[in-house]
Amino acid sequence: MRALITGGCGFVGRHVANAFADRGVAVTALDVAGAAWRDDVTVVHADLRDREATARAVAGHDLVVHNASLVRTKQNRSDDVWAVNLGGTEHVIAACGQHGVGRLVYVSSASVVYEGRDIEGGDESLPYTQRSQAAYADSKVAAEKVVLAANGPSLATCAIRPHVIFGPGDTRLLPAILNRARAGKLKYTVGPGTHLSDFTYIDNLVAALVAAAERVAPGSPVAGQAYFVTNGEPMAFFEFVRRVLRGLGLPEPKGRVPYWVAWTVAALAELWDTLKGGTLGAEDGMSRFAVKYLCTHHYFAIDKARRELGYEPAVRMDEAIARTVAALKATAAATAA
């Protein structure tokens, strides 16, 4: 079997590529940048916004795990977000049809059902959000819809919806938090600090994607379906942050900022970012979308994934945080050396 992983040189993509390569699958990692890191993974550079380049990359594969997306919760640069997240997805689907690829597994997001209100134990019966939150969430809704609509007799598709992915190699979530902590800028939590969030350890997400790839086929129960995949152990977001900071010996937040203050500051930060033209790098958490997330419950039932994918979060949160902290320490030691 030959598998193409879009966004294959990034945090999630590299872990997925490694998992398939370890199983003897011929793996191609498609990304806009990045270098090969192992001999049995081929790296191809292409931009998903380029329909022809995407088609050339997809040719010759049996399976596509479509992981690439532009994560941006600020409400600017929306054209870029839509061009990658929806336009790129449409190009991948078209390429699968053009080259006879039979299976497509899409890495979606739990945000496709988030409307800025509490979700407690939500399952796949929840409708797509009807309220615009940010271009990222809106484009992921649209992209998941076209992926599932593309399911048919020649192309079997399914969508996996993780939530707050973390683990060794993370380049987005924890680095932004740790940079602020090391600079002495992470002094406050937001809101009451009691709202629960789901988290997804990278190894558990990879296991779910592999299981989906193995099961998705025309006419199978998995085809045309979406699945929430998390650790199934919701905790307060800043409790998670505190445990990581404590493990690294970094100062923990001492104060607390009310929701309305944080939302106002985030709105001003987004305005300033827009006036500067908008940046597309790793975010600092200062967006209205992020503030809403911190001040609402958002955790999900994973019964459907357990039942139909055989999914079970093998690495529990205590172990997942411990592994992540150990990896961060190792990286810091190697950098210092």
What residue segments make up the domains of the chain, in order of their start? 2-332
Q: Which of 1-15, 23-37, 107-121, 278-292 has the lowest mean pLDDT?
A: 278-292
Burial bucket for residue 180 (CB in 10 Å: 0-12, 13-18, 19+):
middle
Output the 3-class SS for 242-253.
HHHHHHHCCCCC
> Is the pLDDT confidence value at 231 over 90?
yes
Range among 114-118, 154-158, 265-269 with highest mean pLDDT value: 154-158
Which homologous superfamily is 2-332 in?
Answer: NAD(P)-binding Rossmann-like Domain (3.40.50.720)
Distances (CA, A) of 103 to 1, 309, 324: 11, 15, 32
Computed on alpha carbons and rounded to an integer, the radius of gyration of the chain in Å comes to 19
* Mean of pLDDT values over 262-267: 73
> Is the pLDDT confidence value at 282 over 60?
no
For residue 185, name the pLDDT band (cuts at 50, 70, 90): confident
> Is the pLDDT confidence value at 283 over 60?
no
> Is the pLDDT confidence value at 163 over 70?
yes
Percentage of the chain modeled with pLDDT above 70: 93
pLDDT digits (tens, 9 = 90+) for 70-98: 886 555 568 889 999 999 999 999 999 99
CB atoms near residue 271 (< 10 Å) = 13
Looking at residue 264, its amino acid is: T
Q: What is the rounded CA–CA span in Å between residue 241 and residue 244?
A: 5
Q: What is the mean pLDDT of the chain?
A: 92
* Mean of pLDDT values over 255-283: 70
* Bridging pattern class, strands 2-6 and 26-31: parallel
Q: Annotated active-site positions, please?
A: 136
Percentage of the chain modeled with pLDDT above 90: 73
